[in-house]
Amino acid sequence: MPKLMALIFDLDGTLVDSAGDLRQAVNTVLAAHGRAALSLGDIKNMVGDGLRILLHRAFASTGEALPEAAERAAMDDLLRAYQTQKASRDMLYPLAEEMLAGFRARQIKIGLCTNKLYLPTLKLLDDIGIAGLFDFIAGSDTFPVFKPDPGHVLGVARALKTPPGHCVMIGDSANDINAARGAGIASIAVGHGYGRDVGTLGADAVIGGFGELAGALTRLGFDIGG
């Protein structure tokens, strides 16, 4: 029975529901370009691959694609709109904070592996008040690669000084599960996020919420301590 040394989490759709803030920021940019606003459901279907891809998907779904020459200015506008918003603790999924604190109390390291850029990620975590619960935070710009490339989650594991066989990735999308699989790291999919049909992603376990996480880890054969 391997001892669990670290848990690595996705952010959006896993620990926090930030689709509302993303929608507001994206719609601000779209409006400036004379585009129609997107619904919350639209945004949830587009997230998971970082803000640049989200921006391109938003433009493509509301008219002509975003021209390459206009990308940098549009990204600056999006980051400005997003970073002026203050994240709320209401974004946290039920039991997320308690779960993170509980595993830290068991001397289990906590990592974050998100396709959101690092600085917006850190601001969101600071706004909510949970940045101090993470031992290492990796955005899409922390390493040369990002999910679904396994190098992203492996980079977090190395930063946590944890062998792949002693950590678990928790996420809500194919990017999360595929990155973990490529890294040789066990994975757990959460059903409360933005991913559809999470039972088909190939995760080693599926949970409906964080109240089920400890039990799922035990069933996977990990020693999670007392």
Instruction: List residues with catalytic annotation.
Output: 10
Compute the radius of gyration of the chain from its Cα atoms. 17
Q: In what order do the strands lie in the sheet with 167-171?
A: 136-138, 109-113, 6-9, 167-171, 186-190, 205-207
E strands present in the chain:
6-9, 109-113, 136-138, 167-171, 186-190, 205-207
Nearest-CA neighbor of 95 among 34, 14, 1? 14
Beta carbons of 25 and 129 less than 8 angstroms apart: no
